[in-house]
Amino acid sequence: MDDCTGTGERTLPESARQNTPLWLASAYPRIRQLSEQLCAPLQPEDMSLQACPDVSPPRWHLAHTTWFFETFLLVPHLPGYQPFNPAFEYLFNSYYNGIGEQYPRPQRHLLSRPTNEEVLAWRRQVDDAMLRLIDTAPQLASLIELGLNHEQQHQELLLTDIKYSLSFNPLSPAISMPIHAGNDSLPALSFQDFTGGKVAHGAAPSEGFVFDNETPRHPVWLAPYRLANRPVTNGEYRDFINDGGYQRPELWLSDGWAWVQQHSIQRPLYWQGDLLNHWTLAGMQPLLPDQILAHVNYYEADAYARWAGLRLPTEQEWEHAARHSHRDGSFVENGLYQPGLAADGSLCQLFGDVWEWTASAYLPYPGFRTATGAVGEYNGKFMCNQMVLRGGSCATSQEHIRASYRNFFYPHHRWQFSGIRLAADG
């Protein structure tokens, strides 16, 4: 495979930097339709599955993203608009306390009503009204673009959540196609050197849409560092397991070791006990040694790095490297919903395939301020006790991700497509 390193700073595609009425009128139906397309392989019975409080049913995702547009845009800004059902404001509010109370998250699977048909009818009403609003209220373009990015986040959650819920079914239902083994041997793990120094970190105003947690841009000092050419693979992580990785407390953070002991953890999520098969959205599949590892949490990523004699990158190191990298990974657009095989090159697959854990806590950048009103609850109030992941995954839209994008989860979470890229001091 060709060298994966690009030249120059990576910028957003031109289409993703525009929020003009013409662009929004095209992007809005395209992005909204993808949510429904992702649900097309599901059966009606699948639409209300919620296997644990951390995940939500597919129907809830379709409804909540519709609630966002109705609540923040149509009701306050489109004269004469009437909500589809006033009760939906309570049922499909996720965490916006400024709007009002929310239906309990752990009980979302109990919402057999509204039906799939009612939710789709609600989406049609909201979509028709939104297209009218786009034509008549150009001053709302930034808020509409936020809503579209919010929808893309929920498209990824829809896939990761239904994967978790379907994994409990012994019938091994499949909604995508399997990944086939490659013909080449696993590309050797190598490292690219970065000199560091004073660099600009965070999103620049010229980069178009970004979430508030990516700002403000600010200087940081990086010591020389080295970053692995590719993420860790299934085969490499299996070596860690076979070397007693889950039985060696010296490899684990204290909280991580407590998590391993409390839950009797022996392998990544979805791996079978034989370490030869794993559950995927294509059903139960052979564990390919050269496929990129997914579904490990921060504790597992940190323990593996320590076992390898290395470390996880900081988010500042990761972003600095990513601004010179191609988007050569697997994204939601290819319809496989699995990480791809490891590529061969000097700096590959930073974008797509798996979210890569960093060693950085999710904290505000210097000078960060939340927006006023309920929209200000989007990111800022979660800046506590979580860790940053970078790069997007096989369930992320290619147009949604960028070098400055900050994802965040609690250290014990692993139902997302989260993996490992190693780093070292320079």
Judge if 302 and 372 occupy the same domain.
yes
> Does some domain include residue 183?
no
327 and 361 co-located in one domain: yes
Same domain, 242 and 301: yes
Report yes or no on 186 lying in a domain: no
Checking if the pLDDT of 14 tops 80, the result is no
Average pLDDT over residues 10-38: 78
Q: Confirm whether 309 is domain-assigned.
A: yes
pLDDT in tens, 142-201: 999 999 999 999 999 999 999 999 999 999 999 999 998 876 678 899 999 999 999 999
Number of domains forming the structure of the chain: 2
pLDDT tens figures, 319-340 = 999 998 888 899 999 999 999 9
Contacts of 259 (CB under 8 A, 6+ apart): 265, 297, 299, 412
Q: What amino acid occupies position 200? A: A
- Helices vs strands, H then E, count in the chain: 10, 11
Read off the tokens for 383: 């800046």
Q: By residue range, what is the domain housing residue 213?
A: 191-425
Residues 151, 255 within the same domain: no
Whether 1 maps to a domain, the answer reads no
- Beta bridge mates, 199: 220
End-to-end CA distance of the chain: 27
pLDDT over threshold 50, residue 15: no
Q: Are residues 392 and 327 part of one domain?
A: yes
Task: Please report, for the domain that includes residue 280, its CATH number.
Answer: 3.90.1580.10
Domain boundary among 150, 166, 182: 166
Are 143 and 291 found together in one domain?
A: no
* Mean pLDDT of the 380-384 span: 91
Does residue 272 lie in a domain region?
yes
pLDDT tens for each residue of 30-45: 999 999 999 999 999 9
Alpha-carbon distance of 397 to 384, in angstroms, equals 27
- Whole-prediction pTM value? 0.94
pLDDT in tens, 344-359: 988 999 999 999 999 9
> Helices marked H in 53-100 — which ranges?
58-69, 75-77, 88-91
Can you read off the two tokens belonging to residue 50? Answer: 């919620």
Q: Other C-beta atoms within 10 Å of 324: how many?
A: 17
Q: Are residues 106 and 19 in the same domain?
A: yes
On whether residue 7 sits in a domain, the answer given is no
C-alpha closest to that of 95 among 84, 86, 103: 103
Q: How confident is the model at residue 72 (pLDDT cuts 50, 70, 90)?
A: very high
Mean pLDDT of 410-417: 98
Residue 286 within a domain: yes
* Nearest Cα residue to 390 out of 344, 359, 366, 345: 359
Residues 161 and 229 in one domain: no
Same domain assignment for residues 101 and 210: no
Stretch among 28-42, 68-82, 197-211, 383-397 having the lowest mean pLDDT: 197-211
pLDDT at site 6: 41
Residue 253 scores a pLDDT above 90: yes
- Alpha helices, DSSP H only, in 72-140? 75-77, 88-91, 116-136
Q: Which residue has the higher pLDDT, 7 or 26?
A: 26
**Is there a cis peptide before residue 114, judged by omega within 30 degrees of 0?**
yes
Residues 160 and 200 in one domain: no
State how far the Cα of 82 lies from the Cα of 74, in Å rounded to an integer. Answer: 9
Average pLDDT over residues 20-33: 95
| Domain final residue, candidates 118, 151, 166 | 166
What are the pLDDT digits (tens) for 262-302? 999 999 999 999 999 999 999 999 999 999 999 999 999 99
If asked whether residues 74 and 209 sit together in one domain, one would say: no
The pLDDT > 90 percentage for the chain reads 86
- The stretch 249-270 carries a mean pLDDT of 98
How far is the CA of 221 from the CAs of 96, 169, 195, 314, 360, in angstroms?
Answer: 36, 49, 11, 12, 15
Distances (CA, A) of 213 to 56, 152, 396: 24, 17, 18
Question: Does residue 253 share a domain with residue 147?
Answer: no
Domain assignment present for 8: no
